[in-house]
Structure formats: C-alpha cells, structure tokens
Amino acid sequence: MAGSDSGSGRQTRGRQRIPMKLIENQDDLYATFSKRRRGLLKKACELSTLCGVDLGIIIFSPTNNPFSLWNPSADSVVARYRNPRQLDELLGQKDEINEADKRQDEMDRRREKVWWEQVEAERVQADNEKEKWDKARQQQPYKRRLGELVSHLQAVLKLELLMM
C-alpha cells in the first residue's frame, strides 16, 4: 500500500509529486537539497561521459556552501565559454597532433625495422667470422702436416742433391 506505513500507523507522503514552491520546513529543505544535488551532479557526470561534453556547475546550498562540478577542468570550461572558437582551434591542433603522432609512430616503426635489420646483419657477420675461424681451426692440423711434409720433401731433395 503506497503512501502508508503499516507498522506504525503513521501516514507518509510516499512517492508523489511535490508542489514547485519553496520548502518552508528547514529539515525537509536540507534533505531535498542534498538528494537533488547528488542527482543533478550524477546526471551531469553521465551527460559528460555519454556525450563527451565539457560542463561546469556551481550550486550554492541553502546555507550558502558552494558545490561545483567541472569536466574536464574549471579553467578549460571557462576558457571555452569566453572563446567559443577555441574549440575549433583545439580540434585543429588535435588533428595536427594526431597527424604528428602518426608520423612519429611510422618513423619509430621504420627505425625499429632498420634496427632489426642491422642486428640481423651483425648476426650474419658474426656467424661468418665464426665460420671463418672454425675453418681456420679445422685447417690447422692440415697446415701443420703440410708443413711437416714440405720439410720432409726438402730434406729428401737435399739428400738426393748430395748423392748426385
């Protein structure tokens, strides 16, 4: 049963439209302000998030306490309000920045590609050097044996020359 509190027998207003006039009861006024302020700020945040808009809200409470909400910041919202063309300028700058970022990304990608190619070339060169040293090491016993054979042949030739 809407509008009644069956436990205490006390009648409540329930959920009903309240008349649009100043609330005279201070407690009701503070409670209503607090609830509606939270609701208003929540809706403003949703609007900013869903629609991507910049916004600024300043609210003074019944006790003159200020409450504010700025998205993205108070300075940027006030600056846009004072200079509406600033958005066009910022969008142009944003496009330029995006283009510069794309060029930078492409340069980074190319630089990385060149770096990897350089690393690969150095690896191939190192492999070639290793292969050259490995071959030289493998040929070492043959060179030694060849040297021994040459020495032996020279000795044999000397002996033959002496015998003649």
Q: Once rounded to an integer, what is the mean pLDDT over residues 47-54?
A: 90
| Of the candidates 13, 10, 6, the residue with the CA atom closest to the CA atom of residue 28 | 13
Average of per-residue pLDDT values in the chain: 85
Alpha helices in 52-85 (DSSP H): 74-82
Q: Could you give the C-alpha distances from 152 to 75, 80, 139, 143, 163, in angstroms and in order?
A: 97, 99, 20, 14, 17
Q: Is the confidence at residue 1, as pLDDT, over 50?
A: no
- pTM for the predicted model, two decimal places: 0.43
Strands in 11-133 per DSSP E:
55-60, 66-71
Q: Is the confidence at residue 125, as pLDDT, over 50?
A: yes
Least confident of 99-103, 149-153, 159-163: 159-163
CATH of domain 26-82: 3.40.1810.10
Structure confidence by residue, pLDDT tens digits, 79-102: 888 887 766 777 777 788 888 999
